[in-house]
Amino acid sequence: MMDSDRIWTAGLVIIGDEILSGRTQDRNISQIALWLNLQGIRLGEVRVVGDTVPAIVEAVNSLRAHHDYLFTTGGIGPTHDDITVDAIAEALGVPVVVHPRARAMLESYYRSRGGITDARLRMARVPEGAELIENRMSGAPGIRFGNIFIMAGVPNITAMMLDALSGTLEGGRPMLSETVGCWVAESEVADMLGATEKAHPGCQIGSYPFFRDGRVGANFVIRSTDRAALDACRADLAARLSAAGRDPVQGGI
Amino acid sequence: MMDSDRIWTAGLVIIGDEILSGRTQDRNISQIALWLNLQGIRLGEVRVVGDTVPAIVEAVNSLRAHHDYLFTTGGIGPTHDDITVDAIAEALGVPVVVHPRARAMLESYYRSRGGITDARLRMARVPEGAELIENRMSGAPGIRFGNIFIMAGVPNITAMMLDALSGTLEGGRPMLSETVGCWVAESEVADMLGATEKAHPGCQIGSYPFFRDGRVGANFVIRSTDRAALDACRADLAARLSAAGRDPVQGGI
């Protein structure tokens, strides 16, 4: 395998009772997945766990053993239910310390907002040896420990932290994708999809059916890291659909 | 522990490259979480895995060992990337068979839609010993194998399958929740939240900050299976916020 073909993967642990209770609709999985892909890294697995130390420790240790990178979201605020830093420090076997620069950032941020408090200082706590991830939005930084990235639960803040990390992580070739839509029941073209995928090594075709305006349709998403292979596969699928009397819709429906 | 206090939990495996690629925003986690709570069952953990047999087998076997119920979504359609039934049969150590009633249902459904085909018959395949979960929408049933529930990836179809299962699963007392909102930085009331939670055994308080219209606020979600304890905790938190000169917003912001 050439080094440029190496596939880099990341695991993601979403931490929060609010996701498991159904109260909050998660937005971080897709946000982080799309961002990772731009860095040439694939999201390999996600776990959603509640706000308990054992659950976080187990998920973190399991995923970091299997992936190049590990991301977490949630549980890094100032309140009693924010236990992510403690849990990750336990998973890593290091103590929790106050990071001097995080403390300075929080003191500066809160100078005009009522001053620093013990609760606010909780957000300066990190696993010993960690670096900070800048967050232009709220003053409270994210945390980097080697290949582990500890991010906020609020999607807008997570976005700021991802922005600060953009271009700094080693990755491979981004996964490219093209979509061909068709007003057809996927079951009518299932054999065609399988045959097309087989004819184009290095491409995967996913089939995503939908019901809209009382009609059945599907989007066929072709993925590859090779632009030429991707384009050839897309053209072939469109040609096969046309030959079968179906109207392929470039870009999807 | 009285039997009525038993906590029933479920694991959920979301199967699909489209979620891990970020292309599709998952809707099944929150939908299934909310439905489970109505059945008196708590969603204990979620894993999102790609369309590969080893990843599905590992997630299914890990979660079913730790929870009363296991749900999966995705990968039960007619196309080549639909491998969930094969993977779960492998996890269970049973062969895949064609379920006679599923076959009859599909034959009937497709009689006016071009007839049955090999691809469509894929949707009648089940792990040997499984029962069907009715789906009034598309003719293709979900699958039940003991305490394992294999559901569609398309959220509207999953909803139909959940509807067919409503009231049929044994559970405990539903988790109840009440929300108190406040235009305050959560860090300003962090100690109050912790103290209030401690004063009300059986209640958990989650703090969910947000930024809206240029202002900082938070919703405090109190959860308990005991209505009286929940109401007392909510009233106490509202009183403490008021005493601190903060305006509590019943029901949240």
Per the model's pLDDT, the better-predicted residue between B227 and A211 turns out to be: B227
Q: What pTM, to 2 d.p., does this model score?
A: 0.93
H helix or E strand, kind and range, residue A109: helix A100-110
pLDDT in tens, B159-186: 999 999 999 999 999 999 999 999 999 9
pLDDT in tens, A61-95: 999 999 999 999 999 999 999 999 999 999 999 99
Residues on chain A touching B123 (C-beta within 8 angstroms) = 187
pLDDT of residue B214: 84
Closest to A30 (Cβ–Cβ): which among B25, B32, B205? B25
Is the pLDDT at A39 greater than 90, yes or no? yes
Q: How confident is the model at residue B4 (pLDDT cuts 50, 70, 90)?
A: low
H helix or E strand, kind and range, residue B127: strand B125-127
Q: How does the average pLDDT of chain A come out, rounded?
A: 94
Mean pLDDT for the stretch of residues A1-15: 84
SS3 label, residue A130: coil
CA dist A18 and A79 (Å) reads: 14
Q: What distance in Å separates residue B248's CA from the closest CA in chain A?
A: 18
Tell me how crowded residue A239 is: count the other CB atoms within 10 A of its CB: 12
Torsion (CA) B105, B107, B112, B117 in degrees, nearest 10: 130
Residue written as tokens 């620093």?
Answer: A116
pLDDT of residue A218: 95
Closest to A156 (Cβ–Cβ): which among B26, B137, B211? B211
pLDDT of residue A1: 46
Share of chain A above pLDDT 90, in %: 90
Tallying the residues shown for chain A, one arrives at 253
Distance set, CA A128 to CA A41, A110, A123 (Å): 27, 24, 14
| Cα-trace Rg, chain B | 22
Is the pLDDT at B91 greater than 90, yes or no? yes
Tell me how crowded residue A100 is: count the other CB atoms within 10 A of its CB: 9
Mean pLDDT for the stretch of residues B228-253: 97
| Most B CBs within 10 Å, among A7, A13, A21, A56, to test the B interface | A21
CA dist B12 and B32 (Å) reads: 9
Distance set, CA A201 to CA A9, A189, A196, A204, B16 (Å): 21, 19, 10, 8, 20
Mean pLDDT for the stretch of residues A130-158: 92
3-state DSSP percent of chain B in helix, strand and coil, to 5:
40, 25, 35
Q: Which amino acid is at B9?
A: T
The residue in chain A having the minimum alpha-carbon distance to the alpha carbon of residue B78 is A187
Cβ-contact B221, B210 below 8 angstroms = no
pLDDT of residue A3: 57
pLDDT of residue A34: 96
- Structure token pair of residue B178: 């009440």
**Residue B34 CB partners (closer than 8 Å, separation 6+):** A22
SS3 label, residue B4: helix
Closest to B81 (Cβ–Cβ): which among A33, A80, A207? A207
Mean pLDDT for the stretch of residues B198-212: 93
Q: Do B204 and A17 touch (CB under 8 A)?
A: yes
Q: How confident is the model at residue A135 (pLDDT cuts 50, 70, 90)?
A: confident
Q: Which amino acid is at B224?
A: S
Q: How confident is the model at residue B2 (pLDDT cuts 50, 70, 90)?
A: low
Mean pLDDT for the stretch of residues A50-58: 97
pLDDT in tens, B138-165: 778 999 999 999 999 999 999 999 999 9
Chain A, chain B: beta-carbon pairs less than 8 Å apart? 198
Cα–Cα nearest to B44, from B59, B54, B33, B35: B33
Q: How confident is the model at residue B1 (pLDDT cuts 50, 70, 90)?
A: very low
Distance set, CA A253 to CA A23, A47, A219, B39, B55 (Å): 30, 30, 7, 37, 30
pLDDT of residue A139: 75
Is the pLDDT at B3 greater than 60, yes or no? no
Phi-psi region of A101 (alpha: psi -120 to 50; beta: other; left: phi over 0): alpha
What domains, with CATH codes, occur in chain B? 3-165 (3.40.980.10), 176-250 (3.30.70.260)
Cα–Cα nearest to B178, from B231, B229, B228, B253: B231
Q: Do A78 and B186 touch (CB under 8 A)?
A: yes
pLDDT in tens, A176-235: 999 999 999 999 999 999 999 999 999 999 999 988 888 989 999 999 999 999 999 999
pLDDT of residue A248: 97
How large is the ipTM? Answer: 0.92
Residues on chain A touching B34 (C-beta within 8 angstroms) = 22
Cβ-contact B91, B56 below 8 angstroms = yes
Mean pLDDT for the stretch of residues B6-16: 97
